Chain A
Amino acid sequence: MPATKRNPRHGGIEMARATEKVKWYPGFREITLACFFILYAPLIIVMIYSFNASQSITIWGGFSLHWYEKVFYGVEAAKFKTATVNSLIIAVMAAIVSTVIATAAALAMVRGKAFKGKSLTFGLINLPLMVPEIVTAVATLIFFSVIGFDRGLLSILLAHIVFCIPFAYLPISARLQGISSIYEQAGRDLYATPGQTFRLILFPLMVPGILSGFLLAFIISLDDFIITNFVKGAGVETLPTAIFGAVKQGIKPNIMAISTLMLTVSIVLVSISYLISRMGRQE
């Protein structure tokens, strides 16, 4: 990395010290601290208040798991349970389908020779990232309505698969770019068929990227609100739309408990995805 590059002709350590001095800017450390504070303070405060024993949500009344109990056994428990099950089914299915599609696309894009329309295809795969969510939501709603497609879990799933593809594609193609084609060529030289080469050599090497892509697609699907809100039918809720509906009537403490649970799930999944992709790189 250029940051630690030293010129061997000069005294390495002296030079490095000079570089450190040149790199330093007053106030940047403080701004960085402020940035992390801004990013984390609201989340941490919500986490803390979700353990609040008090009936009033802002006055601290001691530690309690009361609101978590409410989430699982309270009046709205059934509603949130159905919504969670819907969210999980959609996220698992959307992540599986989009990961398969993205893996196929990454193989063709990274291992295939240049072909006409390659950059167009790259643009198409990344199109869901470029079109604003609200526009995708409107277009998908109109599309389902024009072709007379029933709005329910299936319409949500189809919409989710589309925007999960680029998120699954990124880590998979990055991983594939990092795998030298020597291995496949060795396999081919030893008379393995392309299918065997893929199954026995390339696929196992790609697994970290594929898992990482799957997890990111899963999180993106689990988190989506705007598109789901448009294409869901009346009465069908996912966790984010159920939370949004509840928040519209005021923030109750059980919302903070649910939020904390969802936060934890996201953080755990991102951490796993991060560890997997780092493991892949160290091999």
Chain B
Amino acid sequence: MAGLLSSSPANKAEASIVEGRVGLLLLPSWVVIGILLVVPVLIMFVYSFLTQDFRGGVIWTFTLEAYDQFFLDRGLFGDEPPQIEWTYLLIFWRSFIQALFAMIFCLLIGFPTAYFMATSPPQSRSMLLFLVTIPYWVNLLIRTVSMKFLIRDTGPINEWLLAMGMIDEPIRMINTAFAVQLGLFYSYLPFMVLPIYASIERYNFVLSEAAADLYTGRWSTLFRVVIPSVKPGIIAGCILVFIPSLGAFLAPDLLGGAKNFMIGSLVEEQFKGQAGDWPFGAAVSMILLTIIMGILLVYARNQTQSTSRGH
């Protein structure tokens, strides 16, 4: 987080104390992340081309079966002409839409909040920043469980509404798509506020004044001056909400129930649940990873482009 908020210039390292030791100092990070993350992802890629062993493991015969199962429907006995398999594409589509809406709702609430925080007096600003940071660090499982408790049929919301006579029977919220949407929004809201806050804090309000002096309306100043200037922060926030939402497991699992499957639940079921198809689970993870790396690559490219243009 400190990295997002501060941008002090790198120090010149003349006669630096680490001279000649850079490789040695970086070795542990390379080894640990290389062996325990890069190699496992490569092995996962290989695994997605292996044959499923029905006793729960794999047979080392290479096949495209996992990807075939994902994209193509060949009928019950596998001998019909292949058609597009919609089951898994629909799960991806649903996850995509839910992540997209989580992002939009987070932006609608997060931008005004970040703006208000960044424009409040310095003392209350650091207090507000601290208050947004706390939920960021609080256990996501506990936050999701709290939300589940709150919106259950017999949870406080329904009990209060019943007690006040506003409803006659509990509103069904848990195990609906709405609950998943709410859970994703609630989980990742701080991820939207923090980067936008960081870029609004660096925004020079002289620009807004100049716009006002030239008789630009309040809202058109916001949309045509402020928002374009803080766009990098907005995009960073959108990515920080969209990506974890796409692969989320806790919100769909605890709040959505069996009917509101997302990618995370589909993957989990292959390894921890009934399905037990490891190559298929590896293939689904691989497809998810490819989509996300694609998004990050487009983002990184746009960023380098806008910096080279001198923004």
Contact = CB atoms under 8 A, between A and B. Distances in A.
Real binding pair: yes
Contact of B37 (A104, A128, A197): A128
Interface in A98-128: 100-102, 104-105, 107-113, 115, 121, 124-125, 127-128
A190 interface: no
B281 interface: yes
A142 B117 contact: no
A28 B135 CA distance: 21
Contacts of B244: 132-133
B133 interface: yes
A contact patch SS: helix
B32 A165 contact: yes
B131 interface: yes
B186 interface: yes
A279 interface: no
A215 to B, nearest CB: 10
Contact of A28 (B10, B14, B115, B243): B115
Given A22-B212, A143-B39, A178-B6, A223 B141 contact: yes
Interface in B263-310: 263-264, 267-268, 271-272, 278, 281-282, 285, 288-289, 292-293, 296
Interface string B178-195: 000000001001100100
Indicate the member of A2, A19, A219 with the most B CB atoms within 10 Å: A2
A35 B110 contact: yes
Nearest to A193: B17
Interface residues of A, number: 113
A251 B201 CA distance: 41
A111 B116 contact: no
Nearest to A220: B137
Interface string B31-74: 01110111111011001000000000100000000000000000
A115 B22 contact: yes
Contact of B26 (A121, A132, A177): A121
Interface size of B as a range:
35 or more
15 contacts: A19-B208, A25-B112, A25-B218, A28-B116, A105-B25, A113-B22, A130-B293, A131-B41, A136-B40, A138-B271, A159-B36, A162-B37, A226-B249, A240-B139, A247-B148
Interface of A: 1-5, 7, 18-19, 22-25, 27-29, 31-32, 34-36, 38-43, 45-46, 49, 57-59, 100-102, 104-105, 107-113, 115, 121, 124-125, 127-128, 130-136, 138-143, 145-146, 158-159, 161-162, 165, 170-171, 173-175, 177-181, 184-185, 188, 194, 197-198, 202, 212, 216, 219, 222-223, 225-226, 229-230, 240, 243-244, 247, 251, 255-256, 259, 262-263, 266-267, 269-271, 274, 277
Interface of B: 1-3, 6, 8-19, 21-23, 25-26, 28-30, 32-34, 36-41, 43-44, 47, 57, 109-110, 112-113, 115-119, 122, 128, 130-135, 137-143, 145-150, 152, 154-156, 159, 186, 189-190, 193, 201-206, 208-209, 212, 218, 221-222, 243-244, 246-247, 249-250, 254, 263-264, 267-268, 271-272, 278, 281-282, 285, 288-289, 292-293, 296
